[in-house]
């Protein structure tokens, strides 16, 4: 039981990381397809990610330590067990002479129950969320189970010198049965639950403060994850060019972490908005928000949209050069100026949804854009 608790903790640790990495494409797809983010759709997707992390944790973790006799003590795992229904024979052999309650809690029975339960959510999600039929659901489930078994058999595809778990053909059968059960349960459950996707609606109203805050959060996530990757690639590039590792006393090693964040921040908040016609950072692009000239309604000039996008970056980087709480205070000051509309007035720009920008391009800014199904018009700010 202790090992299952450990695996559950690993799944809970992996899930926030996976959600953070998948948040930007999910948000972009929601706004692109539906014009908004559905709360229930977001919850279902988060549960799907948590389930995927659970599958990884329960099938691959805990990772064993490689010792000199690693492969010797696991020699029996090197040969796959190809005999179908051998798990049933294990149940009969282990529970010979036991009464029914004791047999139900035996290791062999619990192993079967676990393997069925492990793929029930997959079958459920494939029917409820993706709308797949039973044949495609079973095929995908079988392929997923086979991938797991091959990963175990190959020692994480060569990361370990030999297999550290047994490839059992029964796992393929039992996992697929579990997926079929989940697919069956999804039918009546779908009649009780809300739809997995939100209803599409027009996305013409000015972006809300929450939507712009989400864009900033997404930019921060990209910044946070991309900067260490850039630093790692820099270290590998140094090794490739010089033929050796970076010395511990090298100046570049000391400044590389800060330099990585500065460079990636420059790309996110300056180079990308300058290159994009809508002046959007990755986060604003994900929430389908563009920067437009407040008077003409056309794409804002490069310098003006850079001022709008790079101000938070300059506040953080400039404040970091001073140290202490200055970066936070500088960022808060920029956000307050943004909230009060000072940045919009000074740069003569405004935020607009991508759908409204397309409509303005056709109609012209003087005609405004309709919001929802009413006849109310949003007049352009002048």
pLDDT string in tens for the chain (382-residue length) = 678 788 899 999 999 999 999 999 999 999 999 999 999 999 999 999 999 999 999 999 989 999 999 999 999 898 999 999 899 999 988 888 888 888 888 889 999 999 999 999 999 999 999 999 999 999 999 999 999 999 999 999 999 999 999 999 999 999 999 999 999 999 999 999 999 999 999 999 999 999 999 999 999 999 999 999 999 999 899 889 888 887 776 677 788 888 999 999 999 999 999 999 899 999 999 999 999 998 888 888 999 989 889 998 999 888 888 888 898 999 999 999 988 999 999 999 999 999 998 887 766 655 555 444 333 333 333 3
C-beta separation of 238 from 201 below 8 A = no
| DSSP state letters, 96-163 | TT--HHHHHTSHHHHHHHHHHHHHHHHHHHHHHTT---HHHHHHHHHHHHHHHHHHHHTHHHHTSSS-
Q: What is the pLDDT of residue 380?
A: 38
Residues 174, 177, 182, 185: what is their CA dihedral angle, to the nearest 10 degrees? -130
Residues 123, 127, 129, 131: what is their CA dihedral angle, to the nearest 10 degrees? 150
Burial category of 154 from C-beta neighbours within 10 Å (exposed 0-12, middle 13-18, buried 19 and up):
middle
Q: What is the pLDDT of residue 323?
A: 84
CB atoms within 10 A of CB 83: 11
| CA max distance for the chain | 87
Q: What is the pLDDT of residue 363?
A: 64
Domain ranges of the chain: 1-62, 76-199, 209-378
CB atoms within 10 A of CB 242: 10
Quote the radius of gyration of the chain (alpha carbons, Å). Answer: 27
Q: What is the pLDDT of residue 359?
A: 85
Q: What is the pLDDT of residue 253?
A: 77
Report the C-alpha gap between 343 and 357 in whole angstroms: 20
Three-state DSSP at 312 gives helix
Report the C-alpha gap between 322 and 329 in whole angstroms: 11
C-beta separation of 305 from 346 below 8 A = no
pTM of the model: 0.85
Q: What is the pLDDT of residue 377?
A: 34
Q: What is the pLDDT of residue 104?
A: 85
Q: What is the pLDDT of residue 350?
A: 93
Tally of residues, the chain: 382
φ/ψ of 268, rounded to 5, equals: -70, -45
Three-state DSSP at 299 gives strand
Report the C-alpha gap between 284 and 308 in whole angstroms: 12
Beta-carbon contacts of residue 263 (< 8 Å; ≥ 6 apart): 227, 230
């Amino acid at each position: 039981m202790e090992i299952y608790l450990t695996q559950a903790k690993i799944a809970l640790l992996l899930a926030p990381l996976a959600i953070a990495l998948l948040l930007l494409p999910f948000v972009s797809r929601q706004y692109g397809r539906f014009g908004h983010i559905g709360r229930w759709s977001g919850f279902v997707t988060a549960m799907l990610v948590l389930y995927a992390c659970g599958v990884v944790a329960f099938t691959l973790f805990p990772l064993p330590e490689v010792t000199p006799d690693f492969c010797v003590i696991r020699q029996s795992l090197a040969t796959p067990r190809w005999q179908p229904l051998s798990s049933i024979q294990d149940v009969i052999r282990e529970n010979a002479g036991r009464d029914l309650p004791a047999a139900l809690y035996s290791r062999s029975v619990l192993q079967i129950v676990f393997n069925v339960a492990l793929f029930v959510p997959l079958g459920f999600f494939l029917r409820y969320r993706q709308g797949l039929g039973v044949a495609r659901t079973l095929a995908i489930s079988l392929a997923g189970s086979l991938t797991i078994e091959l990963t175990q058999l190959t020692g994480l595809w060569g990361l370990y010198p030999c297999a550290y778990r047994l490839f059992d053909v029964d796992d393929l059968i039992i996992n697929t049965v579990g997926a079929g059960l989940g697919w069956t349960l999804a039918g009546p459950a779908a009649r009780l639950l809300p739809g997995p996707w939100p209803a599409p609606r027009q996305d013409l109203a000015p972006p809300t403060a929450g939507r712009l805050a989400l864009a900033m959060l997404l930019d921060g996530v990209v910044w946070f994850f991309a900067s260490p990757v850039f630093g790692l690639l820099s270290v590998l590039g140094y090794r490739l060019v010089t033929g050796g590792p970076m010395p511990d006393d090298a100046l570049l090693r000391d400044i590389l972490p800060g330099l990585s964040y500065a460079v990636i921040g420059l790309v996110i908040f300056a180079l990308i908005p300058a290159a994009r016609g809508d002046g959007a950072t990755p986060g604003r692009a994900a929430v389908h928000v563009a920067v437009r000239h407040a008077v003409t309604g056309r794409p804002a000039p490069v310098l003006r949209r850079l001022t709008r996008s790079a101000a938070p970056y300059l506040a953080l980087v400039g404040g970091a050069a001073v140290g202490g709480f200055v970066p936070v205070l500088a960022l808060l000051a920029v956000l307050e100026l943004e909230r009060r509309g000072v940045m919009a007035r000074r740069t003569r720009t405004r935020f607009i949804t991508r759908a409204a920008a397309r409509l303005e391009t056709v109609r012209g800014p003087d005609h405004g854009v309709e919001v929802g199904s009413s006849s109310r018009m949003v007049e352009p700010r002048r």
